[in-house]
Amino acid sequence: MIREFGLIDVMYLIAAARWTIALTAVAFAGSAVLGLALAILRILPIAPLRWFSATYIQLVQGTPLLVWLFLIFFGLPLAGISVNPWIAAAVAFSVYGSAFLGEIWRGALTSIARTQWEAGASLGLSLAEQLRYVIIPQSIRIAIPPTVGFLVQLIKNTSLAAVIGFVELTREGQLTAAGTYKPFAVYITVACIYFAMCFPLTQWSRSLERKLDVAR
């Protein structure tokens, strides 16, 4: 049965975008926790930890996100953990995103001058205190623009969760296209909704970057 592609379908697509946003939020939270750990491990003066973090980042950045989605979707049940698409997608995106955030944040942390660490040490701060009170507060300002840029990547990449049956904007688009047989109109609408979510963030990231340049 073929029905028309009408306003109601557009409303459904917009409604499905909330799952894109929800998955992005969960994935960002997971990526942030893992990514911060990776970034800090990468700058500690303990070689094995640095190697571990560097290898993890290289490994994840050298494989497609689709592979991670399928590995986790099929792999977790083998370990006796039953998964639904939500859990699989959340874990896969956290693994994937943490490698990119880890690399971005490492760059921000290492951009702080060596002398800042030394100043902290000469005040009697421990390594953890130097990080907590001297290095991290200064690097946050530098880290924000590329982090917002990463958020755009994340929103776009959640579209791949459709392949393991996670119903978000792209999957809803596929279902609507199959039902209405108007793929062009449907996917243009889907693209517009993604654009409406991503473009403001892109602009925001850019203006943050400009402000940072002026401040320097």
Residue 174 to residue 143: CA distance in whole angstroms: 36
Stretch that binds another protein, among 30-38, 86-94, 183-191, 208-216 (CB under 8 A): 183-191
* Binding to another protein in span 135-164, by CB under 8 A: 152, 156-157, 159-160, 162-163
The answer to whether 184 contacts another protein (rule: CB under 8 A) is yes
**Of 99, 198, 195, 191, whose CA–CA distance to 152 is shortest?**
198
> Contact 17/197 with Cβ under 8 angstroms?
yes
Residue 157 to residue 194: CA distance in whole angstroms: 11
Residue from 49, 50, 54, 75 binding another protein (CB under 8 A): 75
CB 209, min distance to another protein, A: 12
**Of 63, 36, 49, whose CA–CA distance to 136 is shortest?**
36
**Residues 6+ away with beta carbon under 8 Å from 148:** 201, 204, 205, 208
> Contact 16/147 with Cβ under 8 angstroms?
no
* Binding to another protein in span 1-60, by CB under 8 A: 59
Question: Which lies closer to another protein via its Cβ, residue 61 or residue 126?
Answer: 61
CB 11, min distance to another protein, A: 19
Residue from 11, 44, 66, 119 binding another protein (CB under 8 A): 66
Residue 34 to residue 101: CA distance in whole angstroms: 9
Question: Which lies closer to another protein via its Cβ, residue 40 or residue 169?
Answer: 169
Residue 88 to residue 164: CA distance in whole angstroms: 9
Site residues (vs another protein, CB under 8 A): 59, 61-68, 70-71, 74-75, 77-78, 80, 82, 152, 156-157, 159-160, 162-163, 170, 173-174, 177, 182-184, 187-188, 190-191, 194-195, 198-199, 202
